[in-house]
Chain A
C-alpha cells in the first residue's frame, strides 16, 4: 500500500456527496459570466461610449479597488467582464476553500475520515482526493465559462484568458486551504484562516491596482487575485501568467503534503494547549455560551470590516479630483459638487458591505444547524433551557454582530473621511450611511431562522436566498427585470445614505420583516422534533 492508495474511491465518494452542489455552483458561475457578457454589449453601442465608461471606471479608485483595472479602455470585453472578473474570482476562491475544507478537515472533525483512514487508504489519499475534486471542478468551471462567454459573442482568445483567470484563482485558493486544514485543528478555523488570507490578498491587489505609476503597483503581483487580473482578458490576453499561478499552486500543495506527513490525525501542526478546569462565573447561560463560541470569529470579521472601512474612507474623497476633464468638473459642480460623488461612493460601498454583513448573519445563525446535527444542542435542551432561548442565544449574536460590523466599518470610514476633509461632522453622516443598511442585513438572519425552524436541513438554503438577493441587485437592472421582482431583495429598500434623505418607513418595515421571520422560525422550531 502506498501513500495514495484509495484516492480513486475517495474521489468517487466526494463526487457523490457533491453531485448536486458542484453542478449548481458551476452553472451559476457560467450564467453570471454569460449575463455580464451579453448584457453589457447593449449598454455601450459605440466605441466612444466604451472608452468613456472605461476611463470613468479606471478614474474611480473605489471601483478599481473593488473590481480591478481595465487594461485596454477600447475593449468592450474588458469593460463587460470587469465586474465578473473581480467579484467572480473572489467567489470562485471562496468556493474552492469551502470545498477543500469540506472534504478534508470537516470529515476529520466528524470522525468519518478516521473510519476511512483505517481502511485501505494511504496517508496522502484524502488530501489528494479533495484537491483532485476541487481542482477538477475549477478546470471544468474555467472551460465551460470560456466556451459560454465566447458563444455569447466575445473574442475567443479573451474568453479563454477569462476562463483561465477564474480557474487559476480557484486552484490557488484550493491549495491555500489545503495548507490551512493542516495547520489548524477545526474546519471552522481552517475556513477562517483561508478567508483571512483571501482578505489580505484582496487588499494587496486593491492597494496595488489603485497605486499610481510611481507607487507600489507590484503589490498586485503578490496576490493570487492580482494574477487573475493580470491574465488581462480582452486586453492583451497574457497566457504566461498561468505559469506563475501553477508554480504557486505546486509549491503550496507541496507544503500541504509535507505537513500531512508530519502531523497526527485529528491534530494541527501546533500542540493543543490546556485550559481552565472550571468555568468562569460568566459562563452560565445559553447566551454566554453562544458568545463564547462566536466571539473569535466575530473579532476576525470586525477587523476585516474596519480595514475595509478605512480603505473606503481614504479613497472616497479622491474621487472628485480624479474626474479629470474640465467638462466633467463643471457638470459635477452643477450636480452639487464632488460631495455628491463622494456620498454616492459611500452609499455604494456600504451597500456591498451590507450584503457581506448579512452573510455573517447567515453564517452565525446557521450555527444552530451545526449545533443540532452535531448533537451539541441536545445537552443544552435537556437542561432547563427552552428551544426558543437556545435558538435566540445564537440569533442575538447574529443580529448584534451584523450591526457591529456595519457600525465599525461606518465609523472607520467616517473618521478617516473627517480627518481628510477636516470636517468632524462627516463622522456622523458617513456612519448613518452604514447604519441604514442594518435592517436589510437582519432580514437574512430572519430567513435562516425561519428555514431552520421548519427543518434543520433547510437552513443551508439561507445561502441560496442571499445569492438570489445579490443577483437580483447586481443583474436585475442589467436584465431589466420588473421592479416588483427586484423589490424582493431587502437591499432594494435601503435609502441611499449619506446624501439622500432618511425615510423611516422602509427601515421600520425591514425590521418588522426580520422580527416576523425570526418569530415564525421560533414557532416552527417549538413544534418539530429536535435531532
Chain B
C-alpha cells in the first residue's frame, strides 16, 4: 500500500522552542490515522507543515506524492483541512463560508453539504461573529467533509462539539473510510481515536514514540494481574515484564507487559494458583504512561 503522507526526520523550531525534533510518520492511503499527543507535542505544527504553511528546518515531507512546500496549488485541490481554532469573517454567514472554502478548494458537493448541515443541526444563516466556537468548528468541518478530496487533515476537530455532535462526526469519518479516502486526525483524547482510527501514532516533544494499529499498540500495554497463591510469590516479582508488584503473604497484585504474560503465568501456576483475576489492557493506560513520562 502506498503512503499518503510520509515524514522523516522532520525538525522545526520557533526561535528557541523546538516544536518538532526529528519526527517520522507514515500514513497509508485509505486509512484513518490518529495523531495523538499531549498539548504542545507538535501536532498542529506537523499539520501546518503538511499544508505548506510552515517550512520544516530539515527532514523530508511527502504528501500525496508531492512536496507540501512547493506543490501547493495542485496538492490543495486534493486535500481539505480543518484548523483547531476556527475564526470566521464577521460579516459573512456560516453558509457562505462553507461554500466559499469549498469553491476555493475547487468545488463542493452540494447534496452532501445539505445532508451534513442537517446532520450537524447547523444554522447557516447566522453571521460569523454570532457562532459559538463549536459552531465555528462545524463550518470548517462541513466544508471539508462535503468536498470530494482524497485526504482530510483534521486538527482536534471535535474539541468544541457536544457528545451528540461528536457521535455524528465519528459516523462521518467511518463513511469516509468506507469510501477509501485518507484521514489524518490529531487529538489529545484517546477515546475518540480508539473509536475511529485504524492506526495511531503517539508523539511527544516533537518525536514519534509509538506507532501501529490499535491491536499492535495493545501489545504494548500491560495487563493487571491479581493472584491468590499456595506459596509466597517471591521469584515472580523479579521476572522481566512485571511492574508495580504488591505482595502480602501469598497474595500478589501486579502489572504485566502483555507480551510477557505467558512466562509470568507459567511461573504462577508453578507456585499453585488458588484464585486468579486478569483485567484486559486498555490503551488509556499506555497513553497516560506516555503522558506521564512527559511531565
Contacts and interface: CB of A to CB of B under 8 A. Distances in A.
Contacts of A296: 91
A382 interface: yes
B95 A386 contact: no
A386 B100 contact: no
A379 interface: yes
B91 A385 contact: no
Given A186-B129, A530-B54, A383 B99 contact: no
Interface stretch (A124-132, A246-254, A268-276, A314-322): A268-276
B93 interface: yes
A468 interface: no
A279 B72 contact: no
A112 interface: no
A292 interface: yes
A385 B76 contact: yes
Interface residues of B, number: 40
Interface residues of A, number: 37
Contact of A378 (B83, B89, B103, B125): B83
Contacts of A274: 93, 125-127
A9 to B, nearest CB: 26
B83 A379 contact: yes
A278 B54 contact: no
A269 B104 CA distance: 35
User: Is the contact region of chain A dominated by helix, strand, or loop, or is it mixed?
Assistant: loop
A293 B101 contact: no
Interface in B97-125: 97-101, 103-106, 124-125
B99 A185 contact: no
Interface in A347-389: 374-376, 378-387
B194 interface: no
A333 interface: no
Given A384-B76, A529-B54, A283 B90 contact: no
Contact of B51 (A266, A277, A286, A382): A382
Contacts of A293: 89, 91
A277 B93 contact: yes
Interface in B80-95: 80-81, 83, 85-93, 95
Most A Cβ at <10 Å: residue of B85, B89, B98: B89
A379 B47 CA distance: 13
B85 A375 contact: yes
Contacts of B127: 272-275
Given A376-B89, A378-B83, A383-B105, A289 B53 contact: no
A109 B87 CA distance: 11
B130 interface: yes
Interface core residue of A276, A283, A384 (most chain B CB under 10 Å): A384
A55 to B, nearest CB: 51
Contacts of B289: none
Contacts of A16: none
Nearest to A376: B87
A300 interface: no
Interface of A: 109, 185-186, 266, 272-279, 283-286, 289, 292-293, 296, 374-376, 378-387, 527-530
Given A286-B104, A381-B51, 20 more contacts: A274-B125, A275-B93, A277-B124, A279-B96, A279-B97, A283-B99, A283-B100, A285-B103, A289-B100, A292-B91, A293-B89, A374-B87, A376-B87, A376-B88, A378-B53, A380-B101, A383-B101, A384-B72, A386-B72, A527-B55
Interface of B: 51-55, 72-74, 76-77, 80-81, 83, 85-93, 95-101, 103-106, 124-127, 129-130, 140
18 contacts: A186-B129, A272-B129, A275-B93, A275-B96, A275-B125, A275-B126, A277-B95, A277-B124, A279-B99, A284-B100, A285-B104, A375-B83, A375-B86, A380-B101, A383-B106, A384-B72, A384-B76, A528-B55
